[in-house]
Amino acid sequence: MFKAVRDSKHVNIMKLRHTTPHDIPFLLETEKRFARLGFVHSDDIVTHQQQMRDPDYAYYTVQERENPAGYVILRGLTSADRSLELKRIVIAEPGHGVGTQVLRAVIDKAFCEFHAHRLWLDVFEDNHRARHVYRSLGFVEETTPSKFFQNGDRQRLLIVMSMQESKHRQKMPLRLRREI
Ligand SMILES: CC(C)(COP(=O)(O)OP(=O)(O)OC[C@H]1O[C@@H](n2cnc3c(N)ncnc32)[C@H](O)[C@@H]1OP(=O)(O)O)[C@@H](O)C(=O)NCCC(=O)NCCS
């Protein structure tokens, strides 16, 4: 559980919980909305249902009071090299500080719960808000050649960003570092 500041007047309690089949309509609707704006890819319901059953994936819903406020998909839980991918993050109402708080919780989960060595993601070059948030939390752009994604007659660059376990440890309080 973690807190998120929605605006300067309201402080809401946010929770990251496992996604259930009841969350799928919200997930599909939110995903389609941001896919239409070109921020994320989208998948059909069957793909999501299969992935939710796959031990390599973890689906989380961001819960704000009674309502879902976003979702996160992680992939690579069974990867031998413990390289975890933040496959997708979508916040239904961006720009209120929720994404930053959710990402902090995701980073902690990746390194403390899943014992990842590396957490990575790819982001469209022109998704300036997402790139800003990732950078502010310590993700760095990798020098590996970025991929182009063909979208109709438009080519868009996908940038790989990552965080290493060592970087996360440096940011942890000394007391917690000793406990790991
Ligand atoms: C990316 C996303 C998860 C971030 O979550 P969020 O709740 O919007 O993020 P926050 O409100 O915590 O922080 C936004 C930050 O971006 C900054 N920002 C907003 N628009 C920006 C822009 N066009 N360029 C650069 N920075 C921008 C804000 O100032 C804020 O930074 P600050 O905290 O240093 O002031 C969310 O916007 C989202 O779901 N977007 C749609 C889907 C998406 O793009 N997913 C990521 C795909 S890789």
* Alpha helices, H only, the chain: 24-36, 45-53, 98-108, 128-136, 165-171, 174-179
123 CB under 6 A from ligand 1? yes
Going residue by residue through the chain (180 aa), what tens digit of pLDDT does each one get?
454 445 444 455 789 999 999 999 999 999 999 999 999 999 999 999 999 999 999 999 999 988 999 999 999 999 999 999 999 999 999 999 999 999 999 999 999 999 999 999 999 999 999 999 999 999 999 987 667 777 777 788 999 999 999 888 777 665 555 544
List the residue whose alpha carbon is closest to atom 16 of ligand 1: 129
For atom 21 of ligand 1, the residue with the nearest CA is 129
Give burial (CB, 10 Å; 0-12/13-18/19+) of 131: middle
Q: Report CA(4)–ligand 1 centroid distance (Å).
A: 14
Distance 58 CA to ligand 1 centre (A): 22
The CATH number assigned to the domain holding 135 equals 3.40.630.30
Count of domains observed in the chain: 1
* Structural domain containing residue 43: 2-179
What pTM, to 2 d.p., does this model score? 0.91
